[in-house]
Structure 1
Amino acid sequence: MTTDPDLAQATTRRAALVQALADSGELTDPAWRTAFERVPRHVFVPYFYDHMGRRISADDADTRDAWFDAVHEDRALVTHRTGGAATSSSSQPSVMATMLEALRVEDGVGMKVLEIGTGTGYNAALLTHRLGNDSVVTVDTEPDLIAAARTRLTETGYEPNVVLADGAHGHPDLAPYDRIIATCRIDSVPPAWLRQLTDGTGSDAGQILAPLGNALVRIHRTGGPLQAEGCFLPGGAYFMPLRHGTVDGIPVRRPALPTGKARRTDVPASALADNAYRFLLSIVEPHLDWQYDLDDAGKPTAARVWSPDGTIAALHPDGTVTEAGPRSLWSRLEEAYRVFTEHDGPGPERYGLTVDHEAQRVWLDGPGGPCWSLRP
């Protein structure tokens, strides 16, 4: 365990961060503000890795000051690496505040919350500060993360139920839950989460808040155990994916770029910098691996994209594209761009999600609008 910095200095820096979150409008609920003021992030993030993979730590005299500054800034910090790849992080506090407020918890009514993705334990501590030890269950699939989070939670006086489990399965032993919050990206809503929600309708219905694609979706029970519906929230939400079992750390290999005949495309390189269009792509084609060429202003001029099925495409500076693999990936991107432009470039807040038994559909401007089926 690291040696604590000066507590007064940490309290002052934490208060300054909370005030900044309040001033920017991300933190508006007084109860959540109190939680952020009281829960010390620096205890839960005793080290992190910078963009070069260097360990920045409270225990290292050479990096201690940089560590202390970073944990009191509105920054996401990589806290776990496997095989050279980032596999866990402490989320940006402003995003955490947005998610916790969007969770719509109520005090004093015995509300129970399941958190998928314990990570450092910091978010679980915030939830526990607000709701109490018996009202929070948090799960993660990594034994070392769970052990460290449990230690830090105990050190700071919080004792939620910390469980080593595959997050996709939730935790049925302590179900049902009034709220389920995921701090990891999903491609579709695991049926187990829906089954573990409380019954009810309207404001009493169980709710799930999770990053789907690269935006947050909030859905509520609308009928039977596998029926739910809701809408996406404005803005982006970029999280590491939900993991199943332990992480093997094997990096993804990119196939060679295509060298075949080029064709014209209607998707301009500038569209690839549009977060609203990128949200639609995260639904239509999840898990794409992108690489860009940028101009002096940081705008894309060309791009390469790989799909997990081995399909690849390259957008060239002259507005042409070449492809290779089992299907036409770029045609899917063009189809999405056509819908995007025909509907005036909608942001995530114009999309919703309907779950009906095992089928899940993302729709635009209502269940009767353009829709895309999610892959289980």
Structure 2
Amino acid sequence: MNIMITGGCGFIGSAVIRHIIATTDHTVVNIDKMTYAASEAALDQARSDPRHTLIRADITDAEAMRSALATHQPDLIMHLAAESHVDRSIDGPADFINTNITGTFILLEAARTYWAALPEPRKSAFRFHHISTDEVFGALEANDPPFTETTPYDPRSPYSASKAASDHLVRAWHHTYGLPTIVSNTTNNYGPWQFPEKLIPLILLNALDGKPLPVYGDGSNMRDWLYVDDHAEALALIALNGTPGATYAIGARQPRTNLDVVTTICNLLDQQHPDPAGPRTRLIRFVTDRPGHDFRYEIDPTTSESALHWHATHNFESGIARTIQWYLANTAWWHPIRTARYAGQRLGTAA
């Protein structure tokens, strides 16, 4: 199959491409605007594989999307391109509205026109897989059951509101026009190649540098954490085998408070790379909570596990250990980002 992936140089998108190139015979057409968080290096061996093509284009450019579809003739689209950092959405929501809502609309329209002209059986086999977040469901209290595929939407931030809107557009294009769309919602991802503004790499790299480890509020906010390679495997299964009109909730059953996450990173890093100044938990600093900070996200993946014959293979401790090892071995990638473009100025969060 010929698979078009938007946002393929991003954190999750690059993991999906690495997985597809390494484990299948499919080809990949990668559409990426190459914003600040994109990294062609994250594609690893896929960069030099003839089955991978990178097109630098913006999903809000209708002509570019129509041209890419007409030229490359994909059998399915996996739509991952999105602005995704909650703090940035609070500071500047316009980019989130433009990319996540308008961009999804433009891509859907280009896909609908392309799909309508396909001959059978390619038309029947075509899929549009939209990758979303659990944040569209709002916030859970401590004793609430986890989110499922049928949880009502209740977004709380500009980021989650923009993703909720894009989810609704995707479903509307299925019900109104018959476009064979699929939606998947997932919880927080972590692992190699994650941009250093997100909680886990921010805390890890600050801890390596002996800098303060900022934790919002009292650190009790809770998230379910999914290793990115596990998510990539699930996404490929959904795209290739999912049912049009269906929703798949993807989670790892690994809930942790933000303070637990930070403490785990400190303890594992102390074991792998001891700090002569002492345990890194000494660097934890509780800072003023961000506006509208959702208390808890967690997904019940039972339905998706059964439908896909999939479950996350990494527990949180093993996944974090692998993540730490990767960042320790790849200073050449993250150090220039920290120095030139980021420098650790923005506080991290569990998003």
Same fold (TM over 0.5): no
Which structure would you say has the larger RCO, counting Cα contacts within 8 Å and 6 or more residues apart? 2
Of structures 1 and 2, the larger Rg is shown by 1
Structure with the higher fraction of residues in strand conformation: 1
TM-score normalised to the size of structure 2?
0.32
Instruction: Select the structure that is richer in helix.
Output: 2
